[in-house]
């Protein structure tokens, strides 16, 4: 493990030593599987019967955008714990902010969770509990623990002080309970404008924890809510609502990311004052990935500024983007398992995510030959209509996967980069002095002529095709050093292939102030007129293949019967970062 960029004491960036992980992929038997720190807490609670025999978790997204791979970590963790311990997991939409939320996102999030392979036991919305939460606010007011404050938002924030300097108490702090209840009811009734008043907890303006310095509990927002419509014009803050939602649902372990650790005293305080079921908040490190932006708000900006083609652009780290890119739920779950759960922030090398999908597709994707940048080759010793046929295995990693027929005709295509007229000594593919083997055909081709076009560029090659036994029989022939893929003109299929590179050029995006300066201008390359072998004629959307020697590709949703479109999922080997 190596450390770099000790930016501040809270955020040390550590890179996983990818190779070490990749070399230790054997599954441990279930009994040997070591527990992560949250599983330890859960097992201990079960032993002491803290919540009886119950384990109840929840995944609480805010419906203000689409889920990303970071959320997938949280989903695998929460749903995974429920599954391991025979418990339940709720899907709860944290919809306390009417301005940024929308039903489009609710539907997108549900689809993503299901696609990842999880089914919630209950689906709830924070807005289901608005009435109850309002009641809890009244309880606090009656206990003298909350008050209506009329300072402006700027004044409130100026009076809050700093971690080393105590805050200043609001002049409205000691209002009577009667007055507070009356104002609170009138806030709800819509008598005041946005920002005119807020409800604040009365805790401690000198606390070293800033979140305990009379935090705001309710604010006025005359806004339409995607579920409650215009029923409310006051909305609870995230901090006020979240613990109550957990409590109402009987959550036992409320798992969130580390930045909420400093909110935990407030979470606990609110629940203790109202005297209701007390879930335990547990924080874990959020997922950060190299070359990847991981915030709904910033991903939204990419979409709105048209720097990508929508939330499901295959370059996006959203679940929708990864799905369209050809990632599988199994690969994402495998990735979540490998990165584990820790209590220290770090950054994971995106190569590890690529490793997980490569492993999955290696086992499960059928093979095919596709020439992405074709160079025409005429096999001069083939007759005009002569066709030979070869059998090629569909998937050598899968027993009994069957075979496909690969035809060879007078015209074939090879990859432009597999021929060099003036190679150096490290080039082993086709050149004037070096024949090459055609994959699956037990046939060598030897260059006879290079045909140039009027601009002097290579237009086509003329080659002689020699069956392998004949070639080997002649001991004067040069040794064959490479086998290349190819596609014959006969029955070939044309397609567009979209080749992706990283969306960003900077590994640690937390160090970049303006993300637009880190965008990779070459993150998408569209190749047209690619030549595919006949077995790919009737592919279906979402199907994945290994294009031999090139990588894993899947059929894009833009694909039609007559105009096939493929996406590069991942190359065969990790060529970056080495
Ligand atoms: P974003 O800033 O991307 O919108 P968020 O935390 O505000 O993220 P929520 O919808 O509030 O998004 O998150 C739902 C759940 O997913 C929370 O429990 C949150 O802790 C978790 N989560 C969000 N991002 C990550 C991440 N990068 N790694 C792990 N868990 C995450
Ligand atoms: Mg959020």
Domain with residue 109: its CATH number is: 3.40.50.620
What residue ranges of the chain have pLDDT lower than 50? 1-17, 20, 24-28, 30, 577-578
The ligand 1 atom at the shortest distance from the C-alpha of residue 62 is 10
User: Where among 253, 284, 315 does a domain terminate?
Assistant: 284
What H or E segment, with its residue span, contains residue 157?
Answer: helix 153-159
Does residue 432 sit in the same domain as residue 558? Answer: yes
Instruction: Give the model confidence (pLDDT) of 529-565 as tens digits.
Output: 999 999 999 999 999 999 999 999 999 999 999 999 9
Of 259, 284, 309, the residue that ends a domain is 284
Q: Is 23 part of a structural domain of the chain?
A: no
Q: What domain range includes position 401?
A: 367-571
- For 228-248, what is each residue's pLDDT tens digit? 999 999 999 999 999 999 999
Looking at the structure, tell me whether residues 72 and 201 fall in a common domain: yes
Do the domain assignments include residue 249? yes
pLDDT on residue 21: 52
Residue 501, in any domain of the structure: yes
Cα-Cα-Cα-Cα torsion 452, 454, 457, 460, nearest 10 degrees, comes to -40
Give a yes or no: residue 25 inside a domain. Answer: no
Of the chain, the end-to-end C-alpha distance in Å amounts to: 15
In this structure, the answer to whether residues 103 and 221 fall within a common structural domain is yes
Query: Which ligand has an atom closest to residue 62 CA?
Result: 1
Q: Tell me if 90 is assigned to some domain.
A: yes
Ligand 1 nearest-atom number relative to CA 74: 30
What does the buried/exposed string (b/e) look like for 33-59 if buried means 16 or more CB atoms within 10 Å of the residue's CB?
eeebebbebbeebbeeeebeebbbbbb
Decide if 22 is inside a domain. no
For residue 453, give the CATH number of its domain: 2.40.240.10
User: Is the whole-model pTM more than 0.85?
Assistant: yes
* Neighbouring residues of 210: CB distance < 8 A, sequence distance ≥ 6: 160, 161, 163, 262
Same structural domain for residues 69 and 179? yes
Residues 256 and 371 reside in one and the same domain: no
Q: What is the pLDDT of residue 259?
A: 96
How many structural domains compose the chain? 2
Check pocket membership of 211 for ligand 1, CB cut-off 6 A: no
Q: Is residue 409 part of a domain?
A: yes
The pLDDT score that the predictor gives to residue 10 is 34
- Residue identified by tokens 């002095």 is 433
Q: What's the CA-to-centroid distance between 397 and ligand 2, angstroms? A: 42
- The verdict on the CB of residue 113 being under 6 Å from ligand 1 is no
344 burial class (0-12, 13-18, 19+ CB within 10 angstroms)? Answer: exposed
Catalytic annotation, residues? 62, 286, 296
Atom of ligand 1 nearest to the CA of 255: 18
pLDDT the model gives residue 32: 59
**456 lies in some domain:** yes
């Amino acid at each position: 493990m190596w450390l770099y960029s000790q930016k501040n004491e809270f955020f040390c960036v550590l890179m996983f030593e990818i190779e070490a992980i990749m070399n230790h992929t054997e599954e441990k038997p279930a009994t040997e599987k070591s527990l992560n720190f949250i599983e330890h807490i859960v097992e201990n609670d079960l032993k002491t019967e803290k919540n009886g025999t119950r384990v109840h978790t929840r995944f609480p997204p805010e419906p203000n955008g689409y889920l990303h791979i970071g959320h997938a970590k949280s989903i695998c963790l929460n749903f995974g714990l429920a599954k391991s311990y025979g418990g339940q997991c709720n899907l709860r939409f944290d919809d306390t902010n009417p301005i940024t939320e929308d039903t489009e996102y609710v539907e997108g999030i549900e689809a993503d969770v299901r696609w990842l392979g999880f089914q919630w036991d209950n689906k709830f919305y924070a807005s289901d509990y608005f009435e109850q939460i309002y009641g809890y606010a009244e309880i606090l007011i009656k206990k003298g623990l909350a008050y209506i404050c009329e300072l402006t938002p700027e004044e409130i924030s100026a009076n809050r002080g700093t971690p080393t300097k105590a805050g200043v108490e609001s002049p409205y702090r000691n209002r009577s309970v009667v007055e507070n209840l009356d104002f609170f009811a009138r806030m709800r009734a819509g008598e005041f404008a946005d920002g005119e008043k807020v409800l604040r907890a009365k805790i401690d303006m000198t606390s070293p924890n800033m979140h305990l310095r009379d935090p705001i509990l309710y604010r006025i927002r005359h806004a339409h809510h995607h579920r409650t419509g215009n029923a409310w014009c006051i909305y609870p803050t995230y901090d006020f609502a979240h613990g109550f939602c957990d409590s109402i649902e009987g959550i036992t372990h409320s798992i969130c990311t580390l930045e909420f650790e400093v909110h935990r005293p407030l979470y606990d305080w609110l629940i203790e004052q109202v005297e209701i079921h007390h879930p335990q908040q547990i924080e874990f490190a959020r997922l950060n990935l190299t070359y990847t932006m991981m915030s709904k708000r910033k991903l939204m900006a990419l979409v709105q500024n048209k720097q990508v083609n929508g939330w499901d652009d295959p370059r996006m780290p959203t679940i929708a983007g990864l799905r369209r890119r050809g990632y599988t739920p199994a690969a994402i779950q495998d990735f979540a398992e490998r990165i584990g759960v820790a209590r220290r922030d770090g950054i994971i090398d995106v190569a590890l995510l690529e490793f997980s999908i490569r492993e999955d597709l290696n086992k499960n994707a059928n093979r095919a030959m596709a020439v992405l940048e074709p160079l025409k080759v005429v096999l001069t010793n083939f007759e005009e209509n002569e066709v030979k046929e070869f059998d090629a295995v569909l998937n050598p990693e899968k027993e009994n996967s069957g075979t496909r027929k690969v035809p060879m005709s007078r015209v074939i295509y090879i990859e432009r980069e597999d021929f060099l007229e003036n190679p150096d000594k490290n080039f082993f593919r086709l050149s004037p002095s070096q024949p090459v083997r055609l994959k699956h055909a037990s046939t060598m081709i030897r260059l006879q002529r290079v045909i140039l076009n009027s601009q002097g560029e290579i237009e086509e090659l003329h080659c002689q095709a020699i069956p392998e036994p004949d070639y080997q029989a002649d001991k004067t022939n040069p040794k064959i050093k490479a086998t290349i893929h190819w596609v014959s003109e006969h029955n070939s299929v044309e397609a567009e292939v979209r080749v992706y590179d990283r969306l960003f050029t900077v590994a640690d995006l937390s160090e970049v102030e303006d993300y637009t300066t880190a965008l990779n201008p070459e993150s998408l390359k569209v190749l047209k007129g690619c030549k595919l072998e006949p077995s790919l004629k009737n592919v279906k959307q979402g199907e994945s293949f290994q294009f031999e020697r090139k990588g894993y590709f899947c059929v894009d949703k833009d694909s039609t019967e007559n105009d096939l479109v493929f996406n590069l999922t991942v190359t065969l080997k990790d060529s970056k970062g080495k």
